[in-house]
C-alpha cells in the first residue's frame, strides 16, 4: 500500500494511491486477491472508458497505496543513473534508473541537504507533485536544499529486464532496491551542479510513504552512513495475513455505513451457504454465472479499498468511499430495482425485501448489488462476447501467466508473494466483519502459485518470507534521526509502529513519532503551494517536519560521515 501500492499493496498496491492502485505507468495494484488483477486487466486491455473506481483500484488494499496526483504536472527533466542489475554478484549487467530533481531552492555551498523521495511501487512520475508542492519542496524551501524523486527498480521506466517471468523478477527485492538507493546517494553527480552533493559531503534526508516509507526507515537502519536522516510515513511490519486493514475501516467509517456493511455481509454469507438461493443472490449483483463463491466475495470487497484513497485535499482525494456509503443507504422509495419488479415485497419493520423465488435480503444488500453492477460488473465487455466468468473468475491459471513488460500488475504482486504478504483475509471467527468469511489465506494467496511458476533460477516461496522485512526493525524500528509519521485512521496503521501491537514511545526531535489526527494514508506527503491554505492538522505536521529536520541538520558534520 504497503499498493505493498502495498499489499497492498502491499500496498500493496499502494498503496495503490494518492489512490494507491496505480501500477507502473500510473497505476498501483491493490492486494485484494487475484480479483484485483482481473479489474486491472479490464481497465488496461479493453478500449473502454475508464471506470470512476480506477484510481481507487490503485489503492484498494495496496500498501502503496498513494493516489497519483492528477492535473498538470510541473516539468522536471528526466535524468538517468546507471545501476548494477545485481549488487551482490560479479555480474557486469546494468540498467538505467530514472530520477528527477528540483533545484529551485538550491543554495550552493551552504551545506543544505538533498531530500530524496523514494518512488516506491509505482512510476516515479506519480511522485512528481511531491517534488513540486509536497514534502520535498517544503523541506527544500526551508533548508535551501535539493529535492529528488528516485524511481524504484522495475517500475515506471527503470526496467532492468526484458520480460516479467519468475526468473526475471528475482532481482526485485528489498536488498537490491536498498542497494540501488545507497549506490545512487554515494555516487550521483547532478547535472548542472558543480559541487559534490554525494552523501559523503552532503546530508541526505530520505522520505517515503507507504511501502516507500518502509524503505526510508530501512535506509536509515541499513545505510546510516548515507541516509543522515529519514522520514517514514510507513508500514514496517510485513504480515502474511492482514485482516486488520478492514477492521480500521469498520471502526473509522460512519457507523451507519459500517452497520449496512456488517448486515449485508452477514446476509450474503448465510445465503451463499444455501445452494438453492445462492445463484439468485449472485444474480442480484449481475454475477449469477460466476462459478466460485470466493470470486464473488472478492469482487464485492473491492469498493472497501476506496477508503485508502481519501485525502485531505479534495482536489486530489477520492470521494468514492462516500459515494459507496450513500449508495448503501438509498431509501426504498423509488428504488429502481423494485420499480422493475412489482412482485417484490418490502417489510418496513424489518427492512427486509422478499424477492420472487423466496430470496429475502436486507435493503442494503439490494443497494450493494446495484452498486457492484454499475461500477464493477459493467466493466465486463459482455456485448463483445465476454462472460462474467472470463472477466471475474480466478481459477484459470493461464490468465495470470502473461510475462510481457505490459503486465505491470506482476511487480507488486511478486513483492507481496516473496517478502511482504498482506493477504486481505476475513477476521477471526466470531469477530464483527465487513468482508465475507470466504476470503481465506488459501484463496487470497493462490495467485502467487498461479502467476509465478518455478523458474530455472528462482522459486517463489509457498508463503512470503516476511522475516526479510521484519528483521530490519518491524514494529519497533528505531534510529536517531528517523521520524515515524502515520495516520490515525489509515487502514495500514496496524502494520506500522503506531499499531496496537507495537510498544508505546515518546515523540522527540531526535526520534519523532507522530500520528496525524483523522489522517489516512501518508497525509504528510502532499501539500499546497500556499501552506496557509492547508488544513490545520496538515499545516501542523509540515511545520513539525521542518522543525525537526532543521534541528537534525545542526548536527551535520561532513567529516564525521565515513562512506
22 is written with which cell numbers?
496505480
Helix/strand/coil for 117: strand
Nearest residue to 267 (alpha-carbon basis) of 60, 430, 437: 437
β-pairing, 513-516 vs 482-487, is parallel
Neighbours of 175 (CB within 10 A): 14
- Between helix 35-45 and helix 293-301 the angle, nearest 10°, is 70
Q: Which residues on adjacent β-strands are paired with residue 5?
A: none
- Per-residue cell: 123: 512510476
Q: Are 20 and 311 in contact (CB under 8 A)?
A: no
In the 3-class helix/strand/coil scheme, how is 221-280 assigned residue by residue? HHCCCCCCEEEEEECCCCEEECCHHHHHHHHHCCHHHHHHHHHHHHHHHHHHCCHHHHHH
Task: Answer for the pair 65, 28: CB distance below 8 angstroms, yes or no.
Answer: yes
Greatest Cα-to-Cα distance within the chain, rounded to the nearest angstrom: 83
Dihedral sign for Cα 485, 491, 494, 500, please. positive
Catalytically active residues are 210, 490
Give, for 69, the enclosing helix (H) or strand (E). none
Residue 83: strand pairing partners: 95
- Please answer whether residues 2 and 14 qualify as being in contact, where contact means their C-beta atoms are separated by less than 8 angstroms: yes
Beta 352-354 vs 513-516: how paired, if at all? unpaired
CB 15 within 8 A of CB 22: no
Instruction: Please work out, in degrees rounded to the nearest 5, the angle formed at the alpha carbon of residue 484 by the alpha carbons of 319 and 305.
Output: 25
Query: How far is residue 227 CA from its own chain's centroid?
Result: 24
Q: How far apart are CA 523 and CA 506, in angstroms?
A: 21
Q: Which three cell numbers stand for residue 81?
A: 543513473
Residues with Cβ < 8 Å from 155, sequence gap 6 or more? 24, 119, 120, 121, 122, 123, 124, 408, 411
Amino acid at each position: 500500500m504497503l499498493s505493498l501500492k502495498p499489499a497492498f499493496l502491499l500496498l500493496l498496491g499502494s498503496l495503490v494511491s494518492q489512490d494507491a492502485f496505480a501500477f507502473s505507468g500510473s497505476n498501483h495494484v491493490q492486494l485484494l486477491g487475484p480479483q484485483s488483477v482481473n479489474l486491472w486487466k479490464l481497465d488496461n486491455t479493453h478500449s473502454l472508458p475508464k471506470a470512476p473506481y480506477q484510481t481507487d483500484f490503485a489503492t484498494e488494499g495496496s500498501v502503496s497505496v498513494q493516489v497519483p496526483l492528477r492535473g498538470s504536472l510541473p516539468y522536471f527533466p528526466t535524468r538517468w543513473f546507471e545501476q548494477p542489475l545485481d549488487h551482490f554478484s560479479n555480474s557486469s549487467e546494468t540498467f538505467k534508473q530514472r530520477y528527477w530533481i528540483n533545484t529551485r531552492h538550491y543554495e550552493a555551498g551552504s551545506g543544505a541537504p538533498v531530500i530524496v523521495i523514494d518512488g516506491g511501487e509505482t512510476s516515479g512520475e506519480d511522485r512528481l507533485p511531491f517534488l513540486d508542492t509536497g514534502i520535498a519542496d517544503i523541506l527544500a524551501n526551508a533548508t535551501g536544499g535539493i529535492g529528488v524523486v528516485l524511481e524504484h527498480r522495475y517500475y515506471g521506466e527503470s526496467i532492468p529486464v526484458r520480460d516479467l517471468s519468475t526468473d526475471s523478477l528475482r532481482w526485485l527485492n528489498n536488498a537490491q532496491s536498498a542497494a540501488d538507493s545507497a549506490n545512487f546517494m554515494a555516487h550521483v553527480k547532478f547535472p548542472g551542479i558543480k559541487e559534490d552533493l554525494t552523501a559523503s559531503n552532503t546530508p541526505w534526508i530520505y522520505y517515503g510513504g507507504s511501502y516507500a516509507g518502509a524503505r526510508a526507515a530501512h535506509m536509515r537502519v541499513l545505510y546510516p552512513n548515507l541516509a543522515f536522516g529519514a522520514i517514514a510515513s510507513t508500514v514496517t511490519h510485513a504480515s502474511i495475513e492482514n485482516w486488520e486493514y478492514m477492521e480500521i475501516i469498520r471502526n473509522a467509517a460512519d457507523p451507519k455505513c459500517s452497520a449496512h456493511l456488517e448486515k449485508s455481509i452477514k446476509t450474503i454469507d448465510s445465503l451463499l451457504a444455501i445452494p438453492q438461493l445462492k445463484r439468485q443472490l449472485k444474480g442480484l449483483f449481475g454475477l449469477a454465472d460466476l462459478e466460485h463463491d470466493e470470486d464473488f466475495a472478492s469482487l464485492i470487497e473491492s469498493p472497501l479499498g476506496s477508503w485508502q484513497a481519501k485525502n485531505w485535499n479534495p482536489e486530489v482525494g477520492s470521494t468514492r468511499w462516500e459515494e459507496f456509503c450513500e449508495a448503501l443507504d438509498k431509501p426504498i422509495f423509488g428504488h429502481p430495482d423494485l420499480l422493475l419488479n412489482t412482485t417484490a415485497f418490502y417489510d418496513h419493520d424489518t427492512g427486509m425485501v422478499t424477492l420472487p423465488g423466496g430470496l429475502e435480503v436486507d435493503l442494503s444488500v439490494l443497494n450493494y448489488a446495484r452498486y457492484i453492477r454499475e461500477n464493477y460488473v459493467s466493466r465486463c465487455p459482455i456485448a463483445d462476447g465476454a462472460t462474467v466468468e472470463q472477466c471475474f473468475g480466478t481459477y484459470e491459471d493461464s490468465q495470470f501467466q502473461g510475462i510481457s513488460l505490459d503486465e505491470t500488475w506482476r511487480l507488486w504482486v511478486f513483492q507481496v508473494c516473496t517478502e511482504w504478504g498482506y493477504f486481505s483475509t476475513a477476521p477471526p471467527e466470531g469477530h464483527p466483519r465487513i468482508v465475507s468469511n470466504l476470503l481465506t489465506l488459501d484463496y487470497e494467496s493462490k495467485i502467487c502459485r498461479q502467476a509465478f511458476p518455478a523458474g530455472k533460477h528462482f522459486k517463489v516461496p509457498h508463503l512470503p518470507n516476511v522475516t526479510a522485512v521484519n528483521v530490519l526493525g518491524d514494529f519497533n524500528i528505531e534510529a536517531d534521526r528517523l521520524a515515524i509519521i502515520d495516520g490515525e485512521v489509515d487502514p495500514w496503521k496496524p502494520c506500522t509502529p503506531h499499531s496496537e501491537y507495537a510498544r508505546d514511545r515518546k515523540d522527540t526531535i531526535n526520534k519523532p513519532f507522530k500520528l496525524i489526527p483523522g489522517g489516512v494514508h501518508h497525509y504528510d506527503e502532499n501539500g499546497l503551494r500556499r501552506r496557509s491554505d492547508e488544513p490545520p492538522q496538515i499545516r501542523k505536521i509540515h511545520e513539525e517536519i521542518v522543525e525537526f529536520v532543521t534541528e537534525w541538520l545542526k548536527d551535520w558534520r561532513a567529516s564525521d560521515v565515513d562512506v
